[in-house]
Amino acid sequence: MATLEDIGVSALINILVAFAFLLAFALLRIQPINDRVYFPKWYISGGRNSPRRSRNFVGKFVNLNVMTYLTFLNWIPQAMRMSESEIISHAGLDSAVFLRIYTLGLKIFVPMTIVALLVLIPVNVSSGTLYFLRKELVISDIDKLSISNVHPKSIRFFVHIALEYLFTFWTCFFLYKEYGNVASMRLNFLASQRRRAEQFTVVVKNVPRVSGHSISDTVDQFFKTNHPDHYLCHQAVYNANKFAKLVRKRDRLQNWLDYNQLKFERHPDRRPTLKTGFLCLWGSKVDAIDYYKQQIKELDRRMALERQKIIKEPKSILPVAFVSFNSRWGAAVCAQTQQSENPTLWITNWAPEPRDVYWQNLAIPFVSLTIRKLIISLSVFALVFFYMIPIAFVQSLANLEGLERVAPFLRTVIELKFIKSFLQGFLPGLALKIFLYILPAILIIMSKIEGHIALSTLERRAAAKYYYFMLVNVFLGSIVTGTAFEQLHSFLHQSPAQIPRTIGVSIPMKATFFITYIMVDGWAGIAAEILRLKELVIFHLKNMFLVRTERDRERAMNPGSVDFPETIPSLHLYFLLGIVYAVVTPILLPFILVFFALAYLVYRHQIINVYNQQYESAAAFWPHVHSRIIASLLISQLLLLGLLSTKQAANSTPLLVVLPVLTLYFHKYCKNRFEAAFRKYPLEKAMEKDIKDKTTEPELDLKAYLADAYLHPIFQTFEVEEEELVQVRAVRVDKYQSHVDNEQTSNLSSPSSPHQVDHAASSANHHAYHPTSSPQYVYKTSSPPQYSDDPTFPSYYSYHYEAEP
């Protein structure tokens, strides 16, 4: 077990690492050459131009202004300057509410830390006067400050119970306030949004196939019958997954072609070549540029064929449709009601916003969804309970005795005092961290298999899985020795009353481990986040090999986004640790406070300057945040119950049993009061906005506005001729830019984004291809934007089709 000294060494290392990262960041960010790595958000929102234009040659790459080096820490006040409403309009509500989780953490834990340290440390330490006699039981110095130091049957435990009550009420108070705040922020945000396609659109799944009718006809007829006053039009969905694969392949080839062309431009004396065999290592040498050009041509031919197939084959129209209504009220009604007698047909839900749609999953047949869910839930169970085995192995190595046994030759090194401290303080946390690194990717894939059709839902589901994983493997797994499967086995053979005891009794002993974990993951990890080392390297590599034009450079920027599926569950772990250890080992709280403060600063900076959210869910994740903090409260109460029962403070049990009941009741109340704001769209609000719209824009052609909003994005690259390719890519960058805040990006939207939508819209009530009549569709990139004055027009879908009889 680690001593106070080990903790000290670990803290020192982590503080040094964190400072090194922060210093590196402070120095790198002021170099003009890195400007696009550290301020991409401003480039995207148009608020910043390359600083390299105005300077001399060296000044383009290195910052020669000495003054800026003296103020290199000014990113912190800069990050704090922006107000919350500015952040909302700058980066979206998701980001703003994400930051509120950190302030919530600070609000909860700052007073909690002060009270816990002032009250509990004296209680615990002074109690030790008796207990010190049995010194061998006091495992580390940290434990002298913890509840372990209190004598069994002591009356002092009532202090701990009182504080548990106080902390629970304190936390619930802030949770309630925050839930209310976030709910009203969400509603205000939705109310203040300009007109958007998803406000009028509902996604309908499992449309029944009626023989003799196309899916489009069926949809049209059904909604004309059942929503006669509100139905406007619909868009059919095509199974274009194969086509999308070809598009991706073509993009990849295009990249290689660009790379080779650039290479040739720089060294016109040597034409680039490549080998055609496996991994470009074997086979005959050919001219690279010609080879790729030919490959792309071949691919274009195949894409044209595939496109024909999609258009002609009625089966490629999926039994899914995006149905649009002439008012928000009509859409809200359709999304919230049951349409058909058979509840597994005509399932309606709010459509995700167009850039949030995960098109691939629309092709999943409805019947397989429940089976997929079953399989994935079993897999998640297996993952959660077996993933720990390798981690436990590594951790047993980090347990020095184990390491020496496995590798006796290392003994002399390990026995060095400093290295020993390092290993004990650093390695367990690091091992865990590395193993956790590849996990989110697995979980996202699992969520994709589950068949959710919105990226935001995918991420939330992945976050839920990640949370279970963290809870079982990181929290429980670190507390109870042995693999998770062994735990499961032993829990099954223990009484329910025994489990909290087993865990509770080892809680204080693991405080040192969690302190090192917080320092590695929370301090150094967060500092690494702001440095963006990976993105920095990749950007410069791309800059060197692929970038030809300014547009290419913009494309090479990878602003990234808040990684919700990973970040939010990690945050929950910190909440859990803080709440559990608040009464057990309060010395852990300052470490958590440092984490929350540092992470708040870092993420505030990143959200303002770097990240570019892919979608806007309007804080749809908050109910999960809330309920998992409640779960942390419940866990802490149960564990304290278990811990105290091993301390023979049994007469305290009734006092502690009341608390979970109250907490659950509080949770239920909050759910009733606030959750609907996140799941449904009240008719009152919908009507309000409808009326406002009607008065401000009485003769808007909504049908034209909605016509192409939900066209599969890959259909926009149809029929693009070779010479238009550069332009296409430029447009695609625009697509990328039309992000969270449409209002701000509108002035950037490319002049080539074309809209002759009104023609197409008026030509047919719905925009499906009729396989029977099979008309010729020509995809153009033409005409000036019609709705350029309307910033909410989905400019990311730049190409559209037009029917030619």
333 makes contact with a copy of itself (CB under 8 A): yes
Please report whether residue 681 would count as binding a copy of itself according to CB under 8 A.
Answer: yes
Q: Is 668 near a copy of itself (CB under 8 A)?
A: yes
- Cβ nearer to a copy of itself, comparing 173 with 381: 381
Among 69, 665, 721, 726, binds a copy of itself (CB under 8 A): 665
* Residues 157-196, mask of contacts with a copy of itself (x by CB under 8 A): ------------------------------x---------
- Interaction between residue 684 and a copy of itself (CB under 8 A): yes
Retrieve residue 631's tokens: 């779960």
With beta carbons less than 8 A apart as the criterion, state whether 159 and 119 touch.
yes
CA of 533: how far to CAs of 29, 178, 460, in Å?
11, 34, 27
Among 66, 67, 438, 492, binds a copy of itself (CB under 8 A): 492
Q: Please report whether residue 375 would count as binding a copy of itself according to CB under 8 A.
A: no
Q: In this complex, which beta carbon is closest to a copy of itself, that of residue 9 or of residue 219?
A: 219
Is 367 an interacting residue with respect to a copy of itself (CB under 8 A)?
no
Q: How far apart are CA 422 and CA 416, in angstroms?
A: 10
Which of 287, 688 has the CB closer to a copy of itself? 688
Residue with tokens 């650093």: 426
Give me the helix-helix angle, 564-584 and 622-646, nearest 10°: 30
Pick one of 287, 675, 693, 719: the residue that binds a copy of itself (CB under 8 A): 675
Q: Which is nearer to a copy of itself, 379 or 788 (CB)?
A: 379
Q: Closest distance between a copy of itself and the C-beta of residue 13, in Å? A: 43
Binding residues for a copy of itself, total number by CB under 8 A: 45
Maximum distance among all alpha carbons in the chain? Answer: 96
Query: Alpha carbon 116 to chain centroid distance?
Result: 33
Which of 433, 685, 729, 759 is the binder for a copy of itself (CB under 8 A)?
685
DSSP secondary structure letter of residue 518: I
Question: Is 207 a binder of a copy of itself (CB under 8 A)?
Answer: no
The upper half-sphere exposure of residue 24, i.e. CA atoms within 13 Å in the direction of its Cβ, equals: 15
Q: Is 495 in the site for a copy of itself (CB under 8 A)?
A: yes
Cα torsion through 57, 63, 66, 70, rounded to 10 = 180
Q: Which of 19, 132, 173, 669 binds a copy of itself (CB under 8 A)?
A: 669
Per rule CB under 8 A, is residue 340 in the interface with a copy of itself? Answer: yes
Return the structure tokens found at 658: 């009341």
Q: Is 687 in the site for a copy of itself (CB under 8 A)?
A: yes
Residue pair 582/121 in contact (Cβ under 8 Å)? The answer is no
Tokens of 235: 């868009």
Contact assessment for residue 710 and residue 322, using Cβ atoms and an 8 Å cutoff? yes
**Binding region for a copy of itself (CB under 8 A) out of 129-137, 239-247, 330-338, 736-744:** 330-338
Question: Of the listed pieces 70-78, 356-364, 490-498, 699-707, which binds a copy of itself according to CB under 8 A?
Answer: 490-498
Report the candidate in 702, 681, 694, 716 with the shortest Cα–Cα distance to residue 796.
716
Comparison of 279 and 492: residue with beta carbon closer to a copy of itself? 492
For a copy of itself, the closer of residues 98 and 231 by Cβ is 231
Say whether 286 sits in a helix, a strand or coil. Answer: strand
**CB of residue 478 to a copy of itself, shortest distance in Å:** 23
338 binds a copy of itself (CB under 8 A): yes
Interaction pattern, residues 223-242, with a copy of itself; x per rule: CB under 8 A = --xxx-x-------------
Going by C-alpha positions, the residue among 706, 729, 620, 711 that lies closest to residue 359 is 711
Asked if 493 touches a copy of itself (CB under 8 A), the answer is yes
**Residue 206: which of 376, 339, 337 has the closest Cα?**
339
Residue from 370, 549, 747, 762 touching a copy of itself (CB under 8 A): that is 370
Q: Are 325 and 232 in contact (CB under 8 A)?
A: yes
Per-residue binding letters, 285-304, with a copy of itself (x by CB under 8 A): --------------------
Query: Measured between alpha carbons, how far is 552 from 517 in angstroms, rounded to an integer?
Result: 41
Distance CA 286, CA 568 (A): 50
Asked whether position 205 contacts a copy of itself by CB under 8 A, the answer is no
**Cβ at position 670, least distance to a copy of itself in Å:** 11
d(CA 606, CA 37): 11
Contact track, a copy of itself, 619-658, x by CB under 8 A: ----------------------------------------
B/e letters for 51-83, b = 16+ CB within 10 Å, e = fewer, are beeeeeeeeeeebeeeeeeeeeeebeeebeebe
Give the nearest distance from C-beta 333 to a copy of itself in angstroms: 5
476 binds a copy of itself (CB under 8 A): no
| Contact of 581 with 514, CB cutoff 8 Å | yes
Binding of a copy of itself by 494 (CB under 8 A): yes
The DSSP-derived string for 455-489 is: HHHHHHHHHHHHHHHIIIIIIIHHHS-S-HHHHHH
Position 346 contacts a copy of itself (CB under 8 A): yes
**Which residue is associated with the tokens 């071949």?**
298
Near a copy of itself by CB under 8 A: residue from 389, 416, 541, 676: 676
What's the angle, vertex CA 233, arms to CA 228 and CA 237, rounded to 5? 130
| Chain residues that interact with a copy of itself, rule: CB under 8 A | 187, 222, 225-227, 229, 329, 332-333, 336-344, 346, 370, 374, 491-498, 665, 668-669, 672-677, 680-685, 687
